[in-house]
Chains A and B, each alone.
Chain A
Amino acid sequence: MSSEVRFTDFKSDKQPTWCPGCGDFGTMNGMMKALAETGNDPDNTFVVAGIGCSGKIGTFMHSYALHGVHGRALPVGTGVKLANPDLEVMVAGGDGDGYSIGAGHFVHAVRRNVDMSYIVMDNRIYGLTKGQASPTSREDFETSTTPEGPKQPPVNPLALALSAGGTFIAQSFSTDAQRHAEIVRKAIEHDGFGFVNVFSPCVTFNDVDTYDYFRDSIVDLEDEGHDPTDYDAAKEKILDADKEYQGVIYQNENSVPYHELHGLDQNMSEIPDGAPEGAMDLVREFY
């Protein structure tokens, strides 16, 4: 790790193909900044992304990375981190990726509390497949597959995370560059699963959850004097469906990440040339 890493070192030489104005630009910039600020460099960083416009992020960033299949980025990140706890692992994806097809993995990744960060670019729509309802779409939001609205309440990812035993739950707004980068940085620094739901507007398919909407409605928890270590206060904010909060909502300071709990500190890529020492004992067990 070198100290001169700048956030642009995490930028690949590939120009992003997102629509001009897409919220994902801001989300990505904040991620790169946070990675650089926490002393990481591309060679010790592993970014896992899912499928969707959001999932393209691994292509536009420079690091070790995997662009996986739809919804399964979290298990991949888990495998990477446990196999080599020295790596900085960041998982990124969309709301469809994380809360629909990958919802099962989300809940379990939260409770496993692996030391990685999970950044969800929540635009409340399916972008890449051109504008269908997502699990966070509003009940009455008309889309190509829900002409009269989904007629079912959106999922509350923060509540899901809290109920699954989340140790770090935060929300940010991609265009509020400073705050967003700071929140992601805290997620990285957290000893455990750092979850950040990022409002990352889709300028092409979502005319409801727009920049203007978020700008007008966002409430910064710091301004409210919210104490993220206060579980009950966090619960109250999370279940408050009327407000869009920004900031670290909940952080468990006693969080012990999976690899520490399980005593995993080795880089598993290093193995001996033959069977490991003591392997003969395995055979003796069968006498």
Chain B
Amino acid sequence: MPEDLNWAIGGEAGDGIDSTGKIFAQALSRAGRHVYTSKDFASRIRGGYTAYKIRTGVERVESVVDRLDILVALTERTIDENMDELHEGSVIIYDGERTEMADVEVPEGMIGLDVPLQSLAEDAGGAIMQNVVALGAACEATNFPIENLDSALEKKFGSKGESIVENNKEAARLGQEYVQEEFDHDFDYDLETTDNDYVLLNGDEAIGMGAIAAGCRFYSGYPITPATDVMEYLSGRIEQFGGEVVQAEDELSAINMALGAARAGARSMTATSGPGIDLMTETFGLIAQSETPLVICDVMRSGPSTGMPTKQEQGDLNMTLYGGHGEIPRFVVTPTNVGECFQKTVEAFNLAEKYQTPVFLVSDLSMAVTEQTFEPEVFDMDAVEIERGKVVDEDEIEAWTDEQGRFQPHFPTADGISPRAFPGTAGGAHMSTGLEHNALGRRTEDTEIRVEQVDKRNQKVKTAEEEEDWSPREFGDADADNLVISWGSNEGPMREAIEYLDEEGVSVRFLSVPYIFPRPDLSEDIEAADNVIVVECNETGQFANLLERDALTRLDRVNKYNGVRFKADELAEEIQNKLSQEVQA
């Protein structure tokens, strides 16, 4: 278990919670500490409780836990909301002069630091900096060298001018000094720094960065939580690489624009969440049928319908696997942590172009809003390889024409992959269609050709199954009798849960699966284990159902669908409960 510290700032939406939390996270990261952040927010802009939590350690941290050591409470409700996680010795920083805090009572055993945030901020140059005063106070309470905060403030406010930066630094100092002078405490906490170099980013940003790295030039999307950050990241950046972001009028348009760009030869992508995926499903079939390479990113949130837009769930797996009428060859790739969001995005583009198939890149809210530290090598641009597949140029095209000299973009090859000619290529003019077609792309209802083309498209998946590495990532004790399997973002909490379980004398083998279709064949692993538990954030166990079908056996599940991601300690407990039920049964 990492030596960790859990810090949070909470208040009303609109209180600047997010940006304050981000500054502190950045300061920690710049001080060489690992950071894992989480946000608790409601689907409204002003009003409503919101919090930004940071877990930090010198060792990697992969999850949130049920413990809060330092809480910056801008409202009384913040304390109530977090009561379960506060403990003896927790420090609560608050401003007793704030009207919202008039009746605050610091619970027994906890340390209340009543700091006049607002008036100190005014002393430094403006009440707006009160959160920064709180950060200064937090530095003192955690023994964290305040210089690290300075550097994060420079990064945050640098573009606004020197004096703004200086005022903020001053605000932080006043907060720090106030705690130093007014409270005679020896705080238990000690945020030591290291020389490590980390970058701090969230899953959506990692996807956007992966897209640019992979040569994606065209992005069209329509805003939706929690996928919007992908678009916001790309806007203003992709242009520097000769690309363009178009905010379409709706998701139907977004995916069709992306399709158009892809047919013109661009690496192209769209990102959305469940409701948008529903709208895009119409065109999804056309993409597969016309054999157009396209990356469609689904950042899942809680459904169905508008469900809980700002809450976690992994409920779209069936949709990405089965969505669309008719039978559609596709890939479903599910990164398991923020770093993998980058790598799997690059991979998604390669898969799409190599196999001329739509690729669902499936992430989720908890990954999208989680900022996590990584060694920069995780985002190694030199390691990025671009595979464009069977693109033919002017000279190669003749080999793919029929007796009348017509290009055959759907020629039924043995591996199922046909040649692809970008528009502008001499001799390659052809039509693509969602109608069933022959090798030329012309409509047909010929029974034999129908079968041939269906087989051809599905052959691509079979080829990919053989050619690509679909293995899971493995953690824990390889020889353990207990096997835990999860997909997507559960990897982080589960990796830590392994350590909790270990302390309890329970050893587990853990397989984290980043591919749903095609997916690794885990039948043998399942057979070899005494107990198998599948962990996922949905009620029905969509992934467990698939594995059961693959392995022809019944599997245990741990499911969470209240809208909140798994916490490592909670997950460990649930797994232990499941295992003890097994033993009793």
Contacts and interface: CB of A to CB of B under 8 A. Distances in A.
Given A274-B386, A283-B376, A75 B257 contact: yes
A58 interface: yes
A100 to B, nearest CB: 14
A101 to B, nearest CB: 9
Contacts of B266: 83-84, 268-269
Contacts of A65: 429-432
A66 interface: yes
A43 B253 contact: no
A75 B252 contact: yes
Contact of A66 (B215, B241, B427, B431): B431
A268 B433 CA distance: 22
Contact of B260 (A76, A262, A284, A286): A76
B429 A262 contact: no
B102 interface: no
Given A43-B429, A271-B217, A286 B199 contact: yes
A179 interface: no
Given A68-B256, A68-B434, A280-B381, A271 B199 contact: no
Given A64-B428, A79-B268, A287 B260 contact: no
B264 A58 contact: no
B220 interface: yes
B106 interface: no
B328 interface: no
A43 B424 contact: yes
A234 interface: no
Q: Which of B213, B264, B265 has the most CB of A within 10 A?
A: B264
A181 interface: no
Q: Which of B197, B259, B384, B427 has the most CB of A within 10 A?
A: B259
Interface stretch (B242-250, B459-467, B532-540): B242-250
Interface stretch (B90-98, B111-119, B282-290): B282-290
Nearest to A10: B429
Interface residues of B, number: 72
Contacts of A43: 423-429
Contacts of B425: 43
Nearest to A61: B431
A63 interface: yes
B263 A59 contact: no
A13 B402 CA distance: 13
B260 A282 contact: no
Interface string A70-87: 011011111111111011
B265 A84 contact: yes
A81 B424 CA distance: 12
Contact of B201 (A63, A104, A286): A286
Nearest to B199: A286
B257 A67 contact: no
Q: Which of A59, A79, A282 has the most CB of B within 10 A?
A: A79
A241 to B, nearest CB: 28
Contacts of B406: 13
A286 B200 contact: yes
Contacts of A84: 264-266, 422-424
Interface string B68-82: 000000000000000
Given A72-B252, A268-B218, A272-B215, A283 B209 contact: yes
B30 interface: yes
A44 interface: yes
A46 B262 CA distance: 13
A4 interface: no
Given A79-B218, A84-B264, A268-B218, A275 B431 contact: no
Given A78-B260, A79-B262, A104-B249, A68 B385 contact: no
**In which size bucket is the chain A interface?**
35 or more
B430 A287 contact: no
B431 A67 contact: yes
B41 interface: no
A161 interface: no
Q: Which of A72, A272, A280 has the most CB of B within 10 A?
A: A72
B261 A268 contact: yes
Given A64-B429, A80-B264, A282-B237, A269 B212 contact: no
Contacts of A201: none
Contacts of A276: 212-213, 215, 241
Contacts of B443: 59
A79 B425 CA distance: 18
Q: Which of A14, A44, A269 has the most CB of B within 10 A?
A: A269
A278 interface: yes
A108 interface: yes
B305 interface: no
A50 to B, nearest CB: 10
A267 B212 contact: no
Contacts of A263: 239
A62 interface: yes
Interface of B: 29-30, 197-201, 205, 209, 212-215, 217-218, 220, 237, 239-244, 246, 248-250, 252-254, 256-268, 282-283, 286, 290, 376, 379, 381-382, 384-386, 404, 406, 422-435, 442-443
27 contacts: A13-B406, A43-B429, A58-B431, A67-B435, A68-B256, A68-B283, A72-B253, A72-B256, A75-B220, A75-B254, A75-B256, A79-B260, A79-B263, A83-B264, A83-B265, A84-B265, A84-B266, A87-B264, A104-B249, A104-B250, A108-B253, A275-B382, A276-B213, A283-B376, A287-B29, A287-B199, A287-B200
- List 10 A-B pairs, minimum CB-CB distance, nearest first: A79-B260, A269-B265, A271-B215, A268-B266, A75-B256, A83-B264, A286-B199, A83-B261, A79-B261, A79-B257
